[in-house]
Amino acid sequence: MTPGSGLQAGLKNRHLTMIAIGGVIGAGLFVGSSSGIATAGPGILLSYALVGTLVVLVMRMLGEMSAANPTSGSFSAHADRALGRWAGFSIGWLYWFFWVVVLAVEATAGAKILEGWVPAVPQWGWALIVMVVLTATNLVSVGSYGEFEFWFAGIKVVAIGAFVVVGLLAVFGVLPGVHADKASFSNLTGEGGFLPHGPGAILTGVLLVVFSFMGSEIATLAAGESEDPERAVTKSTNSIIWRIGVFYLGSILVVVSLLPWNDPSIQKDGSYVAALNSLGIAHAGEVMNVIVLTSVLSCLNSGLYTASRMAFSLGQRGDAPKAFARTTSRGVPMAAILSSVVFGFVAVFFNYQYPDTVFLFLLNSSGAVALFVWLVICFSQLRMRKIIQREAPEKLVVKMWLYPYLTWATAGMIVFVLVYMLFDTKHDGRETVLLSLLVAAVVLVVALVKQKVTANRPAPVAEAPADKVSIG
C-alpha cells in the first residue's frame, strides 16, 4: 500500500492473479476479431503476434518501474518522476479520459445483450442498471471490486481455455460426436494463401487489434492495494507472455483453423460464435453472448476501478481536485469514483442521443491513447532505470531485457504504428490519430500552463513533490 495514501490493501493474491490474467482478455477480443480476420485473413495471427510482442515489452518496462515503486498511479506516477510533472499530468488525464469513454462503450454493448434477453426493459434502462450496480460494487470496498473481477475474469479464462481445447480437438479430428467438415490447418493457407491481401494487411490488422490489448497494465495499478505489491507486479509481468500466447494467439489460431477466413458467418455472427456453430454445438450463440456479457461487465468493473484510481493518484499529486485523493473509512476514493461515473453517464447519454457526432468524437479522440501510454512508459523507463540504480538498486527485481536498446526499438515500433495510422483512411486510422493528438495537445497545454502558474508556489505540507519521492 502507498504510505499515507488512504488506500487499503484489500486485494488478495488470488484477486491480483485473476485481474492480471483477465486484464488481457477484453470484450474487444470477442467482438473485434472478426473485422481483423476479414481484413488480413489468417495473417491476422501475425498482427496479434506483433501487438502481443509490443505489449510484452511495454509490460516488462512497466513491471520494472512498478515492482520498484508500486503505486495507484502506475505509469502516470512514474512519468511524473522520470519526465516531469507535465508528463504525469498529461498521460494521467488522457488515460482517465480513455477509460470513462470505454465505460460508455461497454455499458451500451452490455445493454444490447441484456435487452435481447429481456426486451421489456429498454436499452438505456439496462445501461443505467449495469452502471449503478458496478458503481455500488466499487464504492463498497476494493475487496468487493476484486471479488467481482475474480469471478468475471475466471469465467472468461475458463471459456477461452475450453474454446481452445475443443477447437484443437476438432481440428485434429478427435472430438467425439462432432463432424467439423471445414476444420483443418489447411484453412491457414487455403482461400488465397496465408496473406490473401498481401503483407500490408498485417499492419492494417495491427490497427484493428491494438486497442483490444488495452487493460494489460491494470494489474500494476491494482498492486498498490494488494497484500504484497512487489510479488504481485513481478508475477503478473512474468506471466504476460503465456497469457497473450494462449488467450489471443491460441484462440485466433483455432478460429481461422476451424473455418476458412472468408466464411460469411465470421462477419455475420462473430468469429467465436461462427467457430462454435461450425462444430454443431447447440446454443453456441447464447453461450457466447453470456461470455461476451461477462467480458463487458469485467471491462466495466475494471474500467471504473482504473479511472478512479488514476483520478485518485492525480488528486494526490495535486494535478486534480484534492477531494479525489480523499478516501472513506474503507479506503475507497469516493469522489474519484463518482466523478468518473458521472462522466461515464454523460458519455452514455451522448452515445444514445448523438452517436454519429459527439460520441464519435469522444471515441476517436481517445482511440490512440493506448499507444500514447505505451510510448510514455518507454521514455519513463529509460530515465527511471538510472534513478533506481542510483537510489535503490536492490529494488530492480524485474529488469527490462537488453536495456536500453530494446526499449528504444519498442518506442520506434510504436511511433511507426502511429505514423502508419496517419495514412490509413479506410479504417479511420488518420482521424483517430489526429483527434487523439488534438486532445493530447489540449491536455499538454493545460499541464504546462498549470506547471508555470504553480512553479513558485510552496508545496503543501501534506504532500511531497513527485521528484522527491523515494523509490523505497
Per-residue pLDDT of the chain (472 residues; tens, 9 = 90+): 443 446 777 777 788 777 777 766 766 777 778 888 988 999 999 999 999 999 999 999 998 998 888 877 889 999 999 999 899 999 999 999 999 888 888 888 888 889 989 999 988 899 889 999 989 988 888 888 888 888 988 888 888 889 899 899 988 888 776 666 778 889 999 888 999 988 888 888 888 888 788 777 887 888 777 777 788 788 877 788 888 888 889 999 999 999 999 999 888 888 888 888 888 877 877 888 888 888 888 888 888 888 998 999 999 988 999 999 898 888 889 999 999 999 888 988 888 888 888 888 888 888 788 899 999 999 999 999 999 999 989 989 889 999 999 999 999 999 999 998 888 877 778 888 899 999 999 999 999 998 888 776 655 444 444 443 344 4
62-90 burial: b if 16+ Cβ within 10 Å, else e: bbbbbbbbbbbbbbbbbbbbbbbbbbbbb
Residue 84, domain member (yes or no): yes
Residue 8, domain member (yes or no): no
Closest CA to 388 of 64, 55, 112: 64
Total residues belonging to the chain:
472
Structure pTM? 0.88
Residue 471, domain member (yes or no): no
Spatial contact of 111 and 300, defined as CB atoms under 8 Å apart: no
Cell numbers standing for residue 389: 540504480
pLDDT at residue number 461 = 46
Spatial contact of 397 and 472, defined as CB atoms under 8 Å apart: no
The helix/strand/coil state of 392 is coil
Count CA atoms closer than 13 A to 309's CA, side-chain side. 32
Residue 7, domain member (yes or no): no
pLDDT at residue number 177 = 67
Residue 395, domain member (yes or no): yes
Residue 383, domain member (yes or no): yes
Residue 191, domain member (yes or no): yes
pLDDT at residue number 179 = 65
CATH number for the domain spanning 319: value is: 1.20.1740.10
Residue 414, domain member (yes or no): yes
Amino acid identity of residue 419, one-letter, is V
Instruction: Provide the residue range defining the domain that includes 393.
Output: 13-455
Alpha helices in 324-455 (DSSP H): 334-353, 358-366, 369-391, 405-422, 429-454
In total, how many domains does the chain have?
A: 1
**Residue 356 CB partners (closer than 8 Å, separation 6+):** none
